[in-house]
Amino acid sequence: MAKLVHDVLLLIFIKLKSCPTTLYSCVLVSKMWCDAAVRILWESMSNESNPTVRAEESRKKLYNIISHFLPNGPNEILQKNNIILPLKRFPRLTYNYMEYFTNITSIWIDDMLNLLIDDDSIFSNCKRKLLELEIYKLILNKCNNVKDFNWITDIQLYLCPKSDDFFSKLQSLELNQEFVTSVILLSLPVFCHSIKNLKLHLYQDCSDLSLFIMMQQNLQSLYLNFDNEDEHYEQYPLLSDAIMKKGFKLKEITLTPLVALIKPVFFPSLINIQYLILNNDNGELDEHVNWKVWKYNLRLASFPRLQYLETSYLPSSIETLIIKKSSMNLLEINIRYPLESQNYPIENMQLIKAISMCSNITSLIMDVDSNNVREIISILQNCSKLEKLYFTTKIKITPNGDELLNIMSDVSPAALREFSFGENWNLSLNGLKSFFETWKNKICFKLNLLIIMINLFILGPRIMIN
């Protein structure tokens, strides 16, 4: 049988990274295939966002292997406390599997505890805690290649042996204020100061957390999830100050789901930002937000490298300002659910004008006020690289949908591959018919590269056209 050399196999298996089931089949082909694939298989499993979607049988196989590395002798801690792991023992493990983990999420650890401690007695909680501690000790000790770690446990991990080595190698860290105490935040940066991507779940402002951020030397991406939803605003002055000090190095920032909880004074420092995500989903009904302060700070800012802008439930004037402060080299704009205002049609028109200056944009999601349907011509004419378009509109009136379709037929960019629109566009059957007639002719010229996706309700049934 002809053989593929190891390096070629490796290239193929790397392509299969997102598909652990296929990789698992490859591992079973031969020793040579296994040697090449096993590491990638473990990396890909450790990178799954939710491992529990896999069948219980396959998770149990994984946990069985991990259990081989836990202290499981008759005189060791687990057995002494009557924690009997349901081990199917292998006489010898061929690989040092623990080194293949690249990404540790608490989800699989919880799952492992649930599946291994099948015990309803009053001791089950103590057993869980003991086993959890042993699993974390194993991870800190043996998983030398972990780059991404999510700390969702109240175990004092920094006290475990070799934790300094483990934390010093991390690139991405997720922390939850519910679990990390001041002591942790003050001890951690001693050896953990090279985090590139930091994800925080916050309940309150805290000087230790701000200090932790300021101690990071390589911080590039910051994700802040505000879990408190009280009626108070700008509750995080210390955090805001920390971001301001680190901001000039940040390439990516996400604020969610209530952006007004943080003082926007850090915007002027974000001079290298490439991805800006302002998700205000829980702020829809807020009337107390002082958008003037936002505008003041945005006017002082400039985002020459901004490529990706995603927002929800913000005033359109804020979005327009952000785009104007970029160098108009945005590649993707995703603006959903603009906040209502008296001036909405005008603000919406200004937003359309600003977007039409972004000539390199490839993907656009936005709302178009029914007064401004013709205005989108400037986007379609100016942005020739547009591949993906999704337009919503707030109110269903006569017959804005036909107008949109006419415009799309006349001036849509040559690169466009996907076009969809929200259900409020009011279309007539004739409008739709003539739209398809026009596209039918265009498709011949464009080698069927166009996929028109229409997502609407007409006379009840949903129509999907490819």
Ligand X SMILES: *[C@@H]1O[C@H](CO)[C@@H](O)[C@H](O)[C@H]1NC(C)=O
Residue 379, phi-psi category: left (phi > 0), alpha (psi -120 to 50), beta (remainder)? alpha
State how far the Cα of 404 lies from the Cα of 400, in Å rounded to an integer: 6
Minimum CB–partner distance for residue 399 and ligand X (Å): 4
Judged by CB under 6 A, which of 27, 85, 103, 116 binds ligand X? 103
Of 18, 24, 32, 36, the C-alpha closest to 65 is: 24
Minimum CB–partner distance for residue 6 and ligand X (Å): 20
Contact 36, 7 (CB under 8 A): no
Residue 244 or 357 having the CB closest to ligand X: 357
Q: Residue 339 carries which DSSP code? A: P
Residue 68 or 201 having the CB closest to ligand X: 201
Tell me how far CA of residue 430 lies from CA of 282, 402, 455, in angstroms: 40, 9, 17
**Region of 64-72, 92-100, 203-211, 322-330 interacting with ligand X (CB under 6 A):** 322-330
Judged by CB under 6 A, which of 87, 211, 328, 450 binds ligand X? 328
Judged by CB under 6 A, which of 58, 182, 360, 441 binds ligand X? 360
Judged by CB under 6 A, which of 22, 39, 48, 87 binds ligand X? 48
Is there binding between residue 356 and ligand X (CB under 6 A)?
yes
Q: At what angle do helices 316-324 and 291-300 cross, to 10 degrees?
A: 10
Contact 91, 164 (CB under 8 A): no
Minimum CB–partner distance for residue 221 and ligand X (Å): 11
Judged by CB under 6 A, which of 54, 68, 324, 353 binds ligand X? 353
Judged by CB under 6 A, which of 82, 181, 343, 398 binds ligand X? 398
**Region of 123-131, 203-211, 275-283, 327-335 interacting with ligand X (CB under 6 A):** 327-335
Residue 117 or 322 having the CB closest to ligand X: 322
Is there binding between residue 148 and ligand X (CB under 6 A)?
yes
Is there binding between residue 357 and ligand X (CB under 6 A)?
yes
**Binding-site size, ligand X (CB under 6 A):** 27
Minimum CB–partner distance for residue 230 and ligand X (Å): 29
**Region of 222-230, 257-265, 295-303, 353-361 interacting with ligand X (CB under 6 A):** 353-361
- For the chain, what is the total number of helices (H) and then of strands (E)? 17, 15
Minimum CB–partner distance for residue 290 and ligand X (Å): 31
What are 390's two structure tokens?
A: 């999704």
State how far the Cα of 431 lies from the Cα of 406, in Å rounded to an integer: 8
Binding residues among 168-207 for ligand X as defined by CB under 6 A: 172
State how far the Cα of 240 lies from the Cα of 213, in Å rounded to an integer: 11
What are the φ and ψ backbone dihedral angles of 342, each rounded to 5 degrees? -60, -35
State how far the Cα of 254 lies from the Cα of 273, in Å rounded to an integer: 11
SS3 category, 160: coil
What are 64's two structure tokens?
A: 């069985």
Residue 187 or 363 having the CB closest to ligand X: 363
Judged by CB under 6 A, which of 302, 382, 409, 434 binds ligand X? 382
What are 361's two structure tokens?
A: 């944009």
456-457 and 462-463 beta bridge pairing: antiparallel
**Region of 53-61, 296-304, 393-401, 446-454 interacting with ligand X (CB under 6 A):** 393-401
Strand partners, 419: 389, 452
Length of the chain: 466
Is there binding between residue 295 and ligand X (CB under 6 A)?
no
103-104 and 148-151 beta bridge pairing: parallel
Judged by CB under 6 A, which of 39, 193, 336, 396 binds ligand X? 396
State how far the Cα of 278 lies from the Cα of 323, in Å rounded to an integer: 13
Residue 168 or 360 having the CB closest to ligand X: 360
Binding residues among 24-43 for ligand X as defined by CB under 6 A: 43
Minimum CB–partner distance for residue 379 and ligand X (Å): 8
Is there binding between residue 102 and ligand X (CB under 6 A)?
yes
Judged by CB under 6 A, which of 5, 7, 31, 49 binds ligand X? 49
> From the CB of residue 453, how many other CB atoms can be counted at a distance below 10 Å?
15
Minimum CB–partner distance for residue 58 and ligand X (Å): 17
Minimum CB–partner distance for residue 427 and ligand X (Å): 8
x/- contact string, 419-438, with ligand X (CB under 6 A)? -------x-x----------
> From the CB of residue 106, how many other CB atoms can be counted at a distance below 10 Å?
17
Is there binding between residue 359 and ligand X (CB under 6 A)?
yes
Residues near 466 by Cβ (< 8 Å), separated by ≥ 6? 451, 452, 453
Residues near 62 by Cβ (< 8 Å), separated by ≥ 6? 45, 108
SS3 category, 253: strand
DSSP E strands: which ranges in 227-373?
252-256, 275-279, 308-312, 332-336, 363-367
Is there binding between residue 305 and ligand X (CB under 6 A)?
no
Residue 172 or 409 having the CB closest to ligand X: 172
Residue 102 or 210 having the CB closest to ligand X: 102
| Residues lying near ligand X in the complex (CB under 6 A) | 17, 43-44, 47-49, 102-103, 147-148, 172, 327-329, 353, 356-357, 359-360, 378, 382, 396-399, 426, 428
